[in-house]
Structure 1
């Protein structure tokens, strides 16, 4: 019973905090929700574009480059062991790496930004 009471007190505390710290968002005076969302998107789109170009794409490029060179090394050691070089995995990783390296130049025109 004591554990049940503690859990209920915790749930009540979390609900009370969520009610105290949440704010109600209203659309502009006319009640145009779509217009409010659209104006927020136009304000934030340049910031989103900058963050994606300077943080997200380089992080993905780094991860793909590490995987590509690791897979290329493993494929080379498999070649030395078995005498047959497997091209599929390094080729796919290389294609993905080229795609993400060149993506910032054309992805924003596709998305219309």
Structure 2
């Protein structure tokens, strides 16, 4: 019984692999690298747009929330203990400035 279940599972996996697996051919002479480079050139503009309009703003928003939350907690610690801790807010601020300005230079570094 156990062997039958394993065989059925193996047949099912094999059938799904054959059904959903597709054969990909490189264009013309079998130049796989050329096909990949062509696909990358077509997709890089879309990737750049999505990263600039979705990813960087999402990271900026998260860092801004963390920065202001940490600034608030540091202020309350200052009121309680009399000493303001600058390290965490400074690090978050530096990360926020880095991600706010990243879209202007990151694509030149990556060569896109």
What is the TM-score normalised by the length of structure 1?
A: 0.90
- 4-13 or 85-94: bigger deviation: 4-13
Q: Give 3-state SS (helix, strand or coil) of 1:98's partner.
A: helix
Alignment CA distance shift 1:15-1:79 (3 Å): farther
Counterpart of 1:56 in structure 2 is 55
Matching of residue 81 in structure 1 with residue 80 in structure 2: yes
| C-alpha distance after superposition, 1:41-79 (max 9, x if no partner) | 110010000000011101111111111111111111111
| C-alpha distance after superposition, 1:54-110 (max 9, x if no partner) | 111011111111111111111111111111110000000000001001111111111
Instruction: Give the drift of 1:7.
Output: 5.1
- 10-19 or 59-68: bigger deviation: 10-19
Q: Give 3-state SS (helix, strand or coil) of 1:25's partner.
A: coil
The count of aligned residue pairs is 112
Structure 1's unaligned 5+ residue stretches are none
Q: Distance in 1 between matches of 2:85 and 2:10?
A: 56
Q: Distance in 2 between matches of 1:81 and 1:38?
A: 59
Counterpart of 2:69 in structure 1 is 70
Instruction: Give the drift of 1:14.
Output: 2.8
Alignment CA distance shift 1:34-1:7 (3 Å): same
Counterpart of 1:43 in structure 2 is 42
Q: Give 3-state SS (helix, strand or coil) of 1:54's partner.
A: helix
Q: Distance in 2 between matches of 1:21 and 1:92?
A: 47
Structure 2's unaligned 5+ residue stretches are none
